[in-house]
Chain A
Amino acid sequence: MRFARILTVLFASLAAAAAVTAQEPFVFSPQWTAQAQFAGYYAALEMGFYHEEGLDVRIVHPFHFQTPEQTLISGECDAATIQLMQAMELVDSGTPLVNILQTSMNNATVIVSRRGNPLERRGARVGTWKAGFNQIAFCLDKAERLNYNWVRVAANVNLFVQGAIDATLAMSYNEYNLLLQAGAEITEENVYRFRDHGYNIQDDGVYMTLAAYRRHKDRAERFARASRRGWEWVADHPREALALVMEYVSKNLVATNEVLQKLMLDEILDLQLDPDSGQRSFTLRPDMVRQASGMMLEAGLISRPVEYEELIPR
């Protein structure tokens, strides 16, 4: 528990640093700790793509109980990665957001059950992240009347291993591999992949508040352009990209390993391929926004339809 005290000190110092130089640097906040999920941004920074666009980008990872939307709304960062459904929830709640770059073209959420088909375990105790990323699971819960007992956790793998929860949400690029690494028995039977069952909603995109975007439209476009270059470079140089990722996780004291990061990078790059064209288009799909809006309305997660046009830059 001493961890909490240390985190508090660290967070305060970094936030202060960001505030002092807010006018000049472009502060970007990925939604999780350093990992291959954000390899494209590391590459854009390290390969000088941001610099070529005239940007002084600072990548600031959040801590456990800090969400990207908080830092975005508070102005602690200029842009942040947010999942599409989470962004739509924010827009519905009155925070207009602009999607300046869409990296994910497929949904990565899975449910892993300790035994049996997750959809047959009604009322089960299912772990979900305290930080969010669970809107699509809530939609499924509602639609299928699963009546899951959601348990919000900071990290879910240990609780799953210890048997404290019956099932858990997981990202196919992260927790799924962590569970495998913990020796969990995962078969086709006890895994539910949302993308395979009509729930293929795009995940990660880079968002700015509408206000910030209007103020710094040019910087936003340059950041999106350089970030896209970064991801394309990663796709072309996965080995070098993995080395970069390992530098970042080491610098950020993340307890992970190269195997996990390689698996994550491979999966992330695969999720970036458009399910129809098979290309890396980096664009938000209106059909997925429409589908997500319908599902969230039905599940009661939003009070009104959120349109594609509300999310794209104007």
Chain B
Amino acid sequence: MNLLVSSILQQLFDQNIIYAGIGITIYLTFLSTIAAYLFGLPLGIVLIVTGKDGLHPIPWLNKTLGFIVNAFRSFPFIILLVAFLPVSKFLIGTRDGNGAMIIILIIAATPYVARMVESSLKEVDRGVVEAARSMGASNLQIVWKVYLPEAMPSLIVGAVISTITVLGYSAMAGEIGGDGLGAIAITYGHQRYKDDVIWVCVAFMAVIVEIIQEGGMLVARKLDHRIRQNSKKSKEKKSIYKENIS
């Protein structure tokens, strides 16, 4: 028996459980994040458009949505997880497993994504929006042709941060009978006192985070035309993105 690697860890590798865990973690994370954007992106847009300085201020709607978003965001994830299981039961007929986890992750991530989108869109220069209005653009055209394209690099940075947050949440899938690296770390590592299993799971998650982070930032940088390419400033530009990571 190997002294450094526990037999359980060895088994997990041999039976491909670790690799399956990686696959499920990625699947849970991306599916939930994409679905959260389906709801969170329009919600973030509505928050901007109906805001005080927005294209079409509707104070009551803005305040109500803002309140709901904040209320959801104030749930610690583990509490939200158990509290919304009935919703999962109602929607997909089950309150455990990966399916339920995806429903809960979407519920948790949507308000988060909405705020991310809102803050990205807020960065768009109001003067540019004003210019578009002066050209006779409709509100829909301004959202579609000004807000979203102008904020694209920032939206991508936001998506990276959101994805990584969801990845962290997905580690709790084990709590409701779901799978993934987090579940493996808890059931095989924590509950059987095998620290090496935990560390291997963490290491794989760290690699996934790093890939999402670096890949996302690369895309954001490529898409951003605000700062002169191939100049001294491109170094400064990199550092701007680095700061955004945390």
Pairing of A with B:
no
Which residues of B come within 8 Å of A, CB atoms?
none
Which residues of A come within 8 Å of B, CB atoms?
none
